[in-house]
Amino acid sequence: MKAEFDYVIAGAGSAGCVLARRLSDAGHQVLLLEVGPSDQSWIIRMPAGLRSAFKPTSKYNWWYYTEAQKHLDNRQIQQPRGRVLGGSSSINGMTWLRGHPLDYDGWQAAGASGWSWADCAPYFKKIESSAIGGSHRGDQGPIRAQRQEHLSPLNAAFLQAGQQAGFTLTDDVNGYCQEGVSRFEMSVRDGIRNSAAYGYLHALGEHPNLTIWLGCEVQQINLEGRQATGFRVTRQNRVIEVRARRESIVSCGVFGSAQLLMLSGIGPADHLREHGIATKVDLPGVGENLQDHLECHIQIETKEPVSLNKELQPHRMLWAGMQWFGFKKGVAAVNQCHVGAFLNSSPGTPHPDIQFHFFPVFFDKHWIPLSTTYGYRIGVGPMRPTSRGNVRLRSAKVSDPLRIDPNYMASEEDWRVMREAMRLGIAFSEQAAFKRYNYREDTPGKHIRSGKALDAFIREDAASAYHPCGTCKMGSDDDPMAVLDSQLRVRGIQGLRVIDASVFPNVPSANINAATIMLAEKASDLVLGRPALQPEALPYHSQLTSGAAHKASA
Protein backbone atom coordinates (compact mmCIF):
# COMPACT_ATOMS: atom_id res chain seq x y z
CA MET A 1 0.00 0.00 0.00
CA LYS A 2 1.01 3.60 -0.51
CA ALA A 3 0.06 6.91 1.08
CA GLU A 4 1.26 10.48 0.55
CA PHE A 5 1.33 13.60 2.71
CA ASP A 6 3.21 16.92 2.76
CA TYR A 7 5.06 16.07 5.97
CA VAL A 8 5.44 12.70 7.64
CA ILE A 9 6.60 12.64 11.27
CA ALA A 10 7.94 9.39 12.72
CA GLY A 11 7.28 9.47 16.47
CA ALA A 12 4.43 11.12 18.35
CA GLY A 13 6.39 12.04 21.47
CA SER A 14 7.00 15.41 23.08
CA ALA A 15 8.48 16.86 19.87
CA GLY A 16 6.35 15.01 17.33
CA CYS A 17 3.06 16.24 18.80
CA VAL A 18 4.25 19.86 18.69
CA LEU A 19 5.39 19.57 15.08
CA ALA A 20 2.20 17.83 13.99
CA ARG A 21 0.07 20.66 15.35
CA ARG A 22 2.17 23.53 14.00
CA LEU A 23 2.70 22.06 10.51
CA SER A 24 -0.97 21.16 10.10
CA ASP A 25 -2.03 24.57 11.42
CA ALA A 26 0.07 26.06 8.60
CA GLY A 27 -2.18 24.36 6.03
CA HIS A 28 -0.12 21.27 5.28
CA GLN A 29 -1.28 17.66 5.15
CA VAL A 30 0.58 15.93 7.99
CA LEU A 31 0.85 12.27 9.00
CA LEU A 32 1.97 11.51 12.58
CA LEU A 33 3.19 7.94 13.18
CA GLU A 34 3.27 6.30 16.61
CA VAL A 35 3.99 2.68 17.50
CA GLY A 36 2.29 2.96 20.90
CA PRO A 37 -1.39 3.24 21.87
CA SER A 38 -3.63 6.20 22.63
CA ASP A 39 -3.06 8.27 25.77
CA GLN A 40 -6.75 8.40 26.71
CA SER A 41 -6.43 6.05 29.71
CA TRP A 42 -6.79 7.41 33.25
CA ILE A 43 -3.35 5.90 33.95
CA ILE A 44 -1.91 8.58 31.68
CA ARG A 45 -4.33 11.42 32.39
CA MET A 46 -4.30 11.22 36.21
CA PRO A 47 -1.13 12.91 37.54
CA ALA A 48 -0.93 10.52 40.51
CA GLY A 49 -1.24 7.52 38.20
CA LEU A 50 2.26 7.86 36.78
CA ARG A 51 3.71 4.89 38.69
CA SER A 52 1.23 2.61 36.92
CA ALA A 53 3.18 3.21 33.71
CA PHE A 54 6.45 2.31 35.46
CA LYS A 55 5.93 -1.43 35.42
CA PRO A 56 7.74 -3.87 33.13
CA THR A 57 4.33 -5.04 31.87
CA SER A 58 3.05 -1.56 30.97
CA LYS A 59 2.07 -1.11 27.33
CA TYR A 60 2.92 2.58 27.65
CA ASN A 61 6.62 2.10 28.41
CA TRP A 62 9.52 0.79 26.31
CA TRP A 63 11.29 -0.09 29.56
CA TYR A 64 14.79 -0.16 28.12
CA TYR A 65 17.83 -1.27 30.13
CA THR A 66 21.41 -0.15 29.72
CA GLU A 67 24.34 -2.47 29.20
CA ALA A 68 26.13 -3.42 32.42
CA GLN A 69 27.69 -0.24 33.79
CA LYS A 70 31.28 -0.93 34.79
CA HIS A 71 31.48 2.06 37.15
CA LEU A 72 28.23 1.09 38.93
CA ASP A 73 28.93 -2.47 40.07
CA ASN A 74 28.14 -3.78 36.56
CA ARG A 75 24.45 -3.09 37.09
CA GLN A 76 21.98 -2.61 34.26
CA ILE A 77 20.17 0.69 34.77
CA GLN A 78 16.51 1.15 33.91
CA GLN A 79 15.77 3.53 31.02
CA PRO A 80 11.99 3.91 30.77
CA ARG A 81 10.73 5.81 27.73
CA GLY A 82 7.18 6.60 26.68
CA ARG A 83 5.58 4.23 24.17
CA VAL A 84 2.31 6.08 23.76
CA LEU A 85 0.86 9.17 22.12
CA GLY A 86 2.74 12.01 23.81
CA GLY A 87 5.85 9.87 24.34
CA SER A 88 7.70 10.40 27.58
CA SER A 89 5.63 13.50 28.38
CA SER A 90 2.76 11.03 28.91
CA ILE A 91 4.60 9.01 31.58
CA ASN A 92 7.07 11.45 33.15
CA GLY A 93 6.95 13.06 36.59
CA MET A 94 5.56 16.34 35.13
CA THR A 95 8.27 18.49 36.74
CA TRP A 96 8.42 21.60 34.56
CA LEU A 97 11.92 23.08 34.42
CA ARG A 98 13.75 24.98 31.69
CA GLY A 99 17.36 24.63 32.71
CA HIS A 100 19.74 27.56 32.96
CA PRO A 101 20.29 30.23 30.27
CA LEU A 102 23.99 29.33 30.12
CA ASP A 103 22.97 25.85 28.93
CA TYR A 104 21.64 27.31 25.70
CA ASP A 105 24.53 29.72 25.26
CA GLY A 106 26.58 26.54 25.59
CA TRP A 107 24.64 24.98 22.71
CA GLN A 108 25.55 27.93 20.52
CA ALA A 109 29.19 27.79 21.63
CA ALA A 110 29.21 24.08 20.69
CA GLY A 111 28.25 24.98 17.11
CA ALA A 112 24.44 25.10 17.26
CA SER A 113 24.04 28.52 15.67
CA GLY A 114 20.74 30.21 16.48
CA TRP A 115 20.14 28.22 19.69
CA SER A 116 21.49 30.67 22.29
CA TRP A 117 19.46 31.63 25.36
CA ALA A 118 18.26 34.81 23.64
CA ASP A 119 17.07 32.69 20.68
CA CYS A 120 15.34 30.07 22.84
CA ALA A 121 13.79 32.36 25.49
CA PRO A 122 10.81 33.56 23.37
CA TYR A 123 9.96 29.96 22.52
CA PHE A 124 10.01 28.93 26.17
CA LYS A 125 7.52 31.73 26.75
CA LYS A 126 5.42 30.64 23.77
CA ILE A 127 4.96 27.04 24.90
CA GLU A 128 3.90 27.66 28.48
CA SER A 129 1.04 29.07 30.47
CA SER A 130 2.34 29.95 33.91
CA ALA A 131 0.58 31.82 36.68
CA ILE A 132 3.87 33.20 38.05
CA GLY A 133 3.99 36.06 35.56
CA GLY A 134 6.78 38.48 34.81
CA SER A 135 8.92 39.16 31.76
CA HIS A 136 10.54 35.72 31.81
CA ARG A 137 7.33 33.68 31.65
CA GLY A 138 4.58 32.92 29.17
CA ASP A 139 0.89 32.81 30.05
CA GLN A 140 -0.89 31.76 26.82
CA GLY A 141 0.90 28.57 25.78
CA PRO A 142 -0.38 24.98 25.38
CA ILE A 143 1.49 23.68 28.44
CA ARG A 144 0.12 24.74 31.80
CA ALA A 145 2.87 25.16 34.40
CA GLN A 146 1.51 25.44 37.93
CA ARG A 147 2.88 25.27 41.46
CA GLN A 148 1.49 23.52 44.49
CA GLU A 149 1.13 26.60 46.64
CA HIS A 150 -0.23 24.83 49.75
CA LEU A 151 2.72 22.75 50.85
CA SER A 152 2.61 19.65 53.02
CA PRO A 153 4.64 19.69 56.26
CA LEU A 154 7.53 17.77 54.67
CA ASN A 155 7.68 20.00 51.60
CA ALA A 156 7.66 23.09 53.81
CA ALA A 157 10.40 21.54 55.96
CA PHE A 158 12.58 21.00 52.89
CA LEU A 159 12.42 24.67 51.90
CA GLN A 160 13.15 25.72 55.47
CA ALA A 161 16.02 23.23 55.78
CA GLY A 162 17.62 24.56 52.62
CA GLN A 163 17.63 28.06 54.04
CA GLN A 164 18.96 26.80 57.35
CA ALA A 165 21.81 25.17 55.40
CA GLY A 166 22.71 28.58 53.99
CA PHE A 167 20.96 28.67 50.62
CA THR A 168 18.55 31.25 49.28
CA LEU A 169 14.87 30.75 48.56
CA THR A 170 14.31 31.64 44.92
CA ASP A 171 10.88 32.70 43.70
CA ASP A 172 11.04 31.12 40.23
CA VAL A 173 13.70 28.66 39.06
CA ASN A 174 12.39 29.18 35.51
CA GLY A 175 12.85 32.92 35.77
CA TYR A 176 15.75 35.19 36.66
CA CYS A 177 17.43 32.97 39.26
CA GLN A 178 17.69 29.19 39.14
CA GLU A 179 20.06 28.85 42.09
CA GLY A 180 18.67 28.01 45.52
CA VAL A 181 15.72 26.11 46.96
CA SER A 182 12.33 26.64 45.41
CA ARG A 183 8.86 25.43 44.64
CA PHE A 184 8.84 23.48 41.37
CA GLU A 185 6.13 23.81 38.74
CA MET A 186 4.31 20.84 37.26
CA SER A 187 2.84 20.39 33.78
CA VAL A 188 -0.74 19.83 34.93
CA ARG A 189 -3.86 21.61 33.68
CA ASP A 190 -7.15 21.43 35.58
CA GLY A 191 -6.12 18.22 37.32
CA ILE A 192 -5.00 16.46 34.10
CA ARG A 193 -1.47 15.67 32.95
CA ASN A 194 -0.60 18.40 30.44
CA SER A 195 1.50 16.22 28.13
CA ALA A 196 2.53 17.40 24.69
CA ALA A 197 -0.30 15.27 23.28
CA TYR A 198 -2.84 16.86 25.62
CA GLY A 199 -1.59 20.42 25.12
CA TYR A 200 -0.96 20.38 21.38
CA LEU A 201 -3.42 17.78 20.08
CA HIS A 202 -6.39 17.17 22.37
CA ALA A 203 -6.86 20.56 24.03
CA LEU A 204 -6.70 22.39 20.69
CA GLY A 205 -9.17 20.03 19.03
CA GLU A 206 -8.95 17.82 15.96
CA HIS A 207 -7.46 19.28 12.80
CA PRO A 208 -8.63 18.24 9.32
CA ASN A 209 -5.07 18.41 7.99
CA LEU A 210 -3.66 16.03 10.62
CA THR A 211 -3.79 12.24 10.40
CA ILE A 212 -2.51 10.11 13.30
CA TRP A 213 -1.70 6.43 12.93
CA LEU A 214 -1.28 4.58 16.22
CA GLY A 215 0.12 1.07 16.51
CA CYS A 216 2.31 1.84 13.52
CA GLU A 217 5.95 0.65 13.46
CA VAL A 218 8.43 2.60 11.32
CA GLN A 219 10.81 0.15 9.65
CA GLN A 220 13.13 2.47 7.76
CA ILE A 221 13.62 5.83 6.11
CA ASN A 222 13.09 5.53 2.36
CA LEU A 223 15.85 7.07 0.28
CA GLU A 224 16.21 7.73 -3.44
CA GLY A 225 19.92 8.40 -3.69
CA ARG A 226 20.56 11.16 -1.16
CA GLN A 227 16.90 12.26 -1.04
CA ALA A 228 14.60 11.11 1.77
CA THR A 229 11.17 10.32 0.37
CA GLY A 230 9.30 9.05 3.42
CA PHE A 231 9.08 5.90 5.53
CA ARG A 232 8.32 2.21 5.26
CA VAL A 233 5.90 1.30 8.03
CA THR A 234 3.90 -1.67 9.19
CA ARG A 235 0.33 -1.10 10.33
CA GLN A 236 -2.31 -3.70 11.01
CA ASN A 237 -0.01 -6.39 9.58
CA ARG A 238 0.39 -4.48 6.31
CA VAL A 239 3.49 -2.83 4.89
CA ILE A 240 2.81 0.73 3.77
CA GLU A 241 5.12 3.02 1.83
CA VAL A 242 4.40 6.53 3.08
CA ARG A 243 5.70 9.33 0.88
CA ALA A 244 6.49 12.85 2.13
CA ARG A 245 6.08 15.48 -0.55
CA ARG A 246 8.02 18.09 1.41
CA GLU A 247 10.04 16.59 4.26
CA SER A 248 10.42 13.49 6.40
CA ILE A 249 10.93 14.18 10.10
CA VAL A 250 12.34 11.70 12.63
CA SER A 251 11.10 12.34 16.18
CA CYS A 252 11.56 8.89 17.71
CA GLY A 253 13.50 10.07 20.76
CA VAL A 254 17.03 9.72 22.03
CA PHE A 255 17.16 5.97 21.36
CA GLY A 256 14.67 5.49 18.55
CA SER A 257 15.95 8.25 16.28
CA ALA A 258 19.53 6.98 16.31
CA GLN A 259 18.26 3.44 15.76
CA LEU A 260 16.10 4.42 12.75
CA LEU A 261 18.93 6.34 11.12
CA MET A 262 21.32 3.41 11.50
CA LEU A 263 18.80 0.85 10.26
CA SER A 264 18.37 3.06 7.18
CA GLY A 265 22.09 3.14 6.43
CA ILE A 266 22.84 6.51 8.02
CA GLY A 267 25.52 6.24 10.70
CA PRO A 268 29.01 4.95 11.45
CA ALA A 269 29.96 2.81 8.47
CA ASP A 270 32.02 0.25 10.39
CA HIS A 271 29.16 -0.42 12.79
CA LEU A 272 26.60 -0.70 10.00
CA ARG A 273 28.77 -3.25 8.20
CA GLU A 274 28.83 -5.38 11.35
CA HIS A 275 25.09 -5.89 10.87
CA GLY A 276 25.05 -6.17 7.08
CA ILE A 277 23.52 -2.74 6.54
CA ALA A 278 24.59 -0.91 3.38
CA THR A 279 25.98 2.52 4.25
CA LYS A 280 24.13 5.37 2.54
CA VAL A 281 25.85 8.15 4.49
CA ASP A 282 28.80 7.61 6.83
CA LEU A 283 27.95 9.74 9.88
CA PRO A 284 30.13 8.63 12.81
CA GLY A 285 28.21 10.75 15.32
CA VAL A 286 24.95 8.82 15.04
CA GLY A 287 24.44 7.10 18.40
CA GLU A 288 27.34 8.89 20.08
CA ASN A 289 27.29 11.71 22.65
CA LEU A 290 24.73 9.95 24.88
CA GLN A 291 24.24 11.91 28.10
CA ASP A 292 21.92 11.43 31.05
CA HIS A 293 21.35 12.70 34.56
CA LEU A 294 22.21 10.22 37.30
CA GLU A 295 20.98 10.57 40.85
CA CYS A 296 21.42 8.96 44.26
CA HIS A 297 18.89 8.92 47.05
CA ILE A 298 18.77 9.99 50.65
CA GLN A 299 15.72 8.47 52.29
CA ILE A 300 14.45 9.06 55.82
CA GLU A 301 11.73 7.21 57.69
CA THR A 302 9.42 9.22 59.93
CA LYS A 303 6.90 7.96 62.45
CA GLU A 304 4.49 10.81 61.87
CA PRO A 305 1.90 10.15 59.11
CA VAL A 306 2.87 13.30 57.21
CA SER A 307 4.02 11.70 53.95
CA LEU A 308 1.98 10.73 50.91
CA ASN A 309 2.27 7.05 51.91
CA LYS A 310 -0.82 7.50 54.06
CA GLU A 311 -2.82 8.12 50.87
CA LEU A 312 -2.33 4.43 49.98
CA GLN A 313 -4.70 3.34 52.73
CA PRO A 314 -7.77 1.80 51.01
CA HIS A 315 -10.33 4.32 52.24
CA ARG A 316 -8.11 7.25 51.30
CA MET A 317 -7.41 5.80 47.84
CA LEU A 318 -11.17 5.45 47.32
CA TRP A 319 -11.70 9.08 48.32
CA ALA A 320 -8.84 10.26 46.08
CA GLY A 321 -10.34 8.37 43.15
CA MET A 322 -13.79 9.85 43.74
CA GLN A 323 -12.35 13.36 43.87
CA TRP A 324 -10.33 12.93 40.68
CA PHE A 325 -12.81 11.02 38.53
CA GLY A 326 -15.63 13.28 39.65
CA PHE A 327 -14.00 16.69 39.80
CA LYS A 328 -10.30 16.38 38.77
CA LYS A 329 -9.40 17.53 42.28
CA GLY A 330 -7.58 16.20 45.31
CA VAL A 331 -4.27 14.46 45.89
CA ALA A 332 -4.53 12.50 42.61
CA ALA A 333 -4.72 15.73 40.60
CA VAL A 334 -1.08 16.71 41.20
CA ASN A 335 2.34 15.10 40.88
CA GLN A 336 4.60 14.21 43.80
CA CYS A 337 7.58 16.59 43.37
CA HIS A 338 6.61 20.10 44.44
CA VAL A 339 9.91 21.45 45.76
CA GLY A 340 13.60 21.04 45.04
CA ALA A 341 16.90 22.81 44.71
CA PHE A 342 19.65 23.83 42.28
CA LEU A 343 23.06 24.19 43.90
CA ASN A 344 26.70 24.71 42.99
CA SER A 345 29.28 22.00 43.66
CA SER A 346 32.04 24.58 44.23
CA PRO A 347 32.46 28.37 44.50
CA GLY A 348 33.85 28.51 40.95
CA THR A 349 30.88 26.75 39.33
CA PRO A 350 29.37 29.24 36.83
CA HIS A 351 25.79 28.03 37.32
CA PRO A 352 24.15 25.27 39.36
CA ASP A 353 25.44 21.79 38.53
CA ILE A 354 23.56 19.86 41.25
CA GLN A 355 19.82 19.24 41.37
CA PHE A 356 17.64 17.97 44.21
CA HIS A 357 14.22 16.42 43.66
CA PHE A 358 12.31 16.20 46.93
CA PHE A 359 9.56 13.61 47.39
CA PRO A 360 7.40 13.51 50.55
CA VAL A 361 7.15 9.76 50.00
CA PHE A 362 8.92 6.67 51.32
CA PHE A 363 9.68 4.26 48.43
CA ASP A 364 10.98 0.75 48.13
CA LYS A 365 14.02 0.23 45.91
CA HIS A 366 11.84 0.05 42.78
CA TRP A 367 10.20 3.45 43.36
CA ILE A 368 7.00 1.84 44.60
CA PRO A 369 5.48 3.79 47.53
CA LEU A 370 4.92 1.75 50.66
CA SER A 371 1.56 1.95 52.41
CA THR A 372 2.93 0.98 55.82
CA THR A 373 5.97 3.26 56.12
CA TYR A 374 6.13 7.07 56.19
CA GLY A 375 9.05 9.22 55.15
CA TYR A 376 10.70 11.31 52.46
CA ARG A 377 13.34 11.00 49.75
CA ILE A 378 15.83 13.48 48.29
CA GLY A 379 17.18 12.57 44.87
CA VAL A 380 20.54 14.28 44.29
CA GLY A 381 22.93 14.30 41.36
CA PRO A 382 25.12 16.14 38.82
CA MET A 383 23.40 18.22 36.17
CA ARG A 384 26.24 18.51 33.66
CA PRO A 385 27.93 15.10 33.56
CA THR A 386 31.19 14.90 31.66
CA SER A 387 30.82 11.17 30.94
CA ARG A 388 29.62 10.29 27.44
CA GLY A 389 28.17 7.04 26.15
CA ASN A 390 26.52 5.69 23.03
CA VAL A 391 23.76 3.55 21.59
CA ARG A 392 24.44 0.77 19.12
CA LEU A 393 22.37 -1.71 17.15
CA ARG A 394 22.11 -5.22 18.48
CA SER A 395 20.97 -6.44 15.08
CA ALA A 396 19.46 -5.18 11.83
CA LYS A 397 15.93 -5.83 13.15
CA VAL A 398 13.92 -2.86 14.36
CA SER A 399 12.25 -5.10 16.97
CA ASP A 400 15.52 -6.03 18.69
CA PRO A 401 16.50 -3.86 21.67
CA LEU A 402 19.40 -1.45 21.33
CA ARG A 403 22.69 -1.68 23.18
CA ILE A 404 22.47 1.38 25.42
CA ASP A 405 25.67 2.36 27.22
CA PRO A 406 25.55 5.75 28.97
CA ASN A 407 29.00 5.05 30.45
CA TYR A 408 27.84 6.52 33.76
CA MET A 409 30.40 7.91 36.21
CA ALA A 410 33.34 7.41 33.86
CA SER A 411 35.05 10.66 34.89
CA GLU A 412 36.53 11.80 38.17
CA GLU A 413 34.65 15.10 37.78
CA ASP A 414 31.32 13.26 37.86
CA TRP A 415 32.42 11.48 41.03
CA ARG A 416 33.44 14.77 42.62
CA VAL A 417 30.08 16.39 41.93
CA MET A 418 28.10 13.32 43.01
CA ARG A 419 29.97 13.11 46.31
CA GLU A 420 29.28 16.81 46.90
CA ALA A 421 25.62 16.32 45.99
CA MET A 422 25.37 13.55 48.58
CA ARG A 423 27.09 15.70 51.20
CA LEU A 424 24.71 18.58 50.57
CA GLY A 425 21.64 16.33 50.56
CA ILE A 426 22.62 14.81 53.89
CA ALA A 427 23.22 18.31 55.24
CA PHE A 428 19.67 19.26 54.25
CA SER A 429 18.23 16.24 56.03
CA GLU A 430 20.12 17.04 59.24
CA GLN A 431 18.84 20.61 59.59
CA ALA A 432 16.54 21.62 62.45
CA ALA A 433 13.51 21.82 60.15
CA PHE A 434 13.56 18.04 59.71
CA LYS A 435 14.47 17.15 63.30
CA ARG A 436 10.94 16.33 64.46
CA TYR A 437 10.37 14.05 61.46
CA ASN A 438 13.63 12.10 61.30
CA TYR A 439 13.23 8.67 62.88
CA ARG A 440 15.63 6.50 60.84
CA GLU A 441 17.98 7.15 57.96
CA ASP A 442 17.16 4.42 55.48
CA THR A 443 19.75 5.42 52.85
CA PRO A 444 22.64 5.86 52.75
CA GLY A 445 22.70 5.08 56.51
CA LYS A 446 24.26 7.01 59.38
CA HIS A 447 27.49 5.05 59.08
CA ILE A 448 28.02 6.20 55.47
CA ARG A 449 29.30 9.72 55.05
CA SER A 450 32.52 9.75 53.02
CA GLY A 451 35.41 7.77 51.59
CA LYS A 452 35.13 4.22 50.32
CA ALA A 453 31.80 3.63 52.04
CA LEU A 454 30.16 6.57 50.25
CA ASP A 455 31.62 5.58 46.88
CA ALA A 456 30.35 2.03 47.39
CA PHE A 457 26.86 3.38 48.14
CA ILE A 458 26.90 5.51 44.98
CA ARG A 459 27.88 2.51 42.87
CA GLU A 460 25.08 0.47 44.45
CA ASP A 461 22.32 3.09 44.51
CA ALA A 462 22.78 5.48 41.56
CA ALA A 463 20.00 5.39 38.97
CA SER A 464 18.90 7.38 35.97
CA ALA A 465 16.85 10.52 36.49
CA TYR A 466 15.36 9.72 33.06
CA HIS A 467 16.85 12.57 31.01
CA PRO A 468 18.84 10.84 28.22
CA CYS A 469 19.67 12.95 25.17
CA GLY A 470 22.30 13.84 22.59
CA THR A 471 22.63 10.84 20.24
CA CYS A 472 22.02 12.83 17.01
CA LYS A 473 23.51 16.14 18.02
CA MET A 474 23.35 19.33 16.00
CA GLY A 475 26.54 21.29 15.43
CA SER A 476 28.81 23.16 13.07
CA ASP A 477 30.00 22.01 9.67
CA ASP A 478 33.53 21.45 10.94
CA ASP A 479 32.41 19.09 13.73
CA PRO A 480 32.78 15.54 12.38
CA MET A 481 30.51 14.19 15.15
CA ALA A 482 27.62 16.57 14.42
CA VAL A 483 24.84 14.52 12.82
CA LEU A 484 22.73 17.59 12.04
CA ASP A 485 23.30 21.18 11.07
CA SER A 486 21.74 23.98 13.12
CA GLN A 487 18.58 23.72 11.02
CA LEU A 488 18.27 20.12 12.29
CA ARG A 489 18.85 18.72 8.79
CA VAL A 490 20.65 15.37 8.53
CA ARG A 491 24.03 15.89 6.92
CA GLY A 492 24.36 14.35 3.48
CA ILE A 493 20.61 13.75 3.04
CA GLN A 494 18.01 16.06 1.50
CA GLY A 495 14.52 16.36 2.95
CA LEU A 496 15.28 14.72 6.30
CA ARG A 497 15.42 16.25 9.77
CA VAL A 498 15.68 14.90 13.30
CA ILE A 499 13.72 16.87 15.90
CA ASP A 500 13.68 15.61 19.49
CA ALA A 501 15.98 15.42 22.54
CA SER A 502 18.55 13.42 20.58
CA VAL A 503 19.69 16.65 18.90
CA PHE A 504 20.84 18.37 22.11
CA PRO A 505 24.61 19.02 21.99
CA ASN A 506 24.67 19.01 25.81
CA VAL A 507 22.09 18.05 28.40
CA PRO A 508 20.36 21.05 30.02
CA SER A 509 20.89 21.61 33.74
CA ALA A 510 17.41 20.40 34.71
CA ASN A 511 14.68 18.00 33.63
CA ILE A 512 14.54 18.07 29.83
CA ASN A 513 10.89 17.86 28.80
CA ALA A 514 10.37 21.63 28.64
CA ALA A 515 13.54 21.99 26.55
CA THR A 516 12.33 19.29 24.14
CA ILE A 517 8.97 20.99 23.62
CA MET A 518 10.71 24.37 23.21
CA LEU A 519 13.04 22.85 20.61
CA ALA A 520 10.13 21.44 18.60
CA GLU A 521 8.25 24.73 18.72
CA LYS A 522 11.29 26.59 17.42
CA ALA A 523 11.99 23.85 14.88
CA SER A 524 8.49 24.18 13.43
CA ASP A 525 9.42 27.70 12.27
CA LEU A 526 12.61 26.32 10.70
CA VAL A 527 10.68 23.62 8.82
CA LEU A 528 8.08 26.12 7.60
CA GLY A 529 10.73 28.65 6.58
CA ARG A 530 9.26 31.29 8.86
CA PRO A 531 11.31 33.99 10.57
CA ALA A 532 12.28 33.02 14.10
CA LEU A 533 10.69 34.86 17.00
CA GLN A 534 12.57 38.00 17.94
CA PRO A 535 15.43 37.07 20.31
CA GLU A 536 15.05 38.21 23.91
CA ALA A 537 18.21 38.68 25.96
CA LEU A 538 16.39 38.17 29.25
CA PRO A 539 18.69 38.78 32.25
CA TYR A 540 19.67 35.91 34.50
CA HIS A 541 21.68 35.13 37.59
CA SER A 542 24.92 33.17 37.51
CA GLN A 543 28.24 33.12 39.31
CA LEU A 544 29.62 34.97 36.29
CA THR A 545 27.30 37.91 36.87
CA SER A 546 27.05 38.06 40.67
CA GLY A 547 28.66 36.66 43.77
CA ALA A 548 26.06 34.38 45.31
CA ALA A 549 27.58 32.48 48.22
CA HIS A 550 28.12 28.75 48.23
CA LYS A 551 27.32 27.39 51.66
CA ALA A 552 26.66 24.01 53.18
CA SER A 553 26.53 23.55 56.94
CA ALA A 554 25.88 20.04 58.14
Write the pLDDT tens digit of every residue in 338-371.
999 999 999 999 999 999 999 999 999 778 899 9
Q: What are phi and psi of 291, to 5 degrees?
A: -130, 155
Q: Torsion-angle region of residue 517: left (phi > 0), alpha (psi -120 to 50) or beta? A: alpha
Quick one: pLDDT at residue 51? 81
380: β partners: 296, 356
| pLDDT > 90: percent of the chain | 94
Quick one: pLDDT at residue 553? 32
Write the pLDDT tens digit of every residue in 387-410.
999 999 999 999 999 999 999 999
Write the pLDDT tens digit of every residue in 432-455.
999 999 999 999 999 999 999 999
Rounded to two decimals, what is the model's pTM? 0.97
Write the pLDDT tens digit of every residue in 89-129.
999 999 999 999 999 999 999 999 999 999 999 999 999 99
Write the pLDDT tens digit of every residue in 27-46.
999 999 999 999 999 999 99
Quick one: pLDDT at residue 546? 57
Quick one: pLDDT at residue 50? 84
Report the chain's mean pLDDT, rounded to a whole number: 96
Average of pLDDT values for 458-464?
98
Peptide bond connecting 444 to the previous residue in cis, omega within 30 degrees of 0: yes
Is the CB of residue 88 less than 8 Å from the CB of residue 13?
Answer: yes
- Residues noted as catalytic: 467
Quick one: pLDDT at residue 552? 34
Write the pLDDT tens digit of every residue in 305-335.
999 999 999 999 999 999 999 999 999 999 9
Q: Cα(251)–Cα(34) distance, rounded to whole angstroms?
A: 10
HEC letters along 254-277: HHHHHHHHHHCCEECHHHHHHCCC
- Angle ∠(127,406,363) on CA atoms, nearest 5: 75
pLDDT surpasses 80 at 548: no
Average of pLDDT values for 173-191?
97
Domains and CATH numbers, the chain: 2-528 (3.50.50.60)
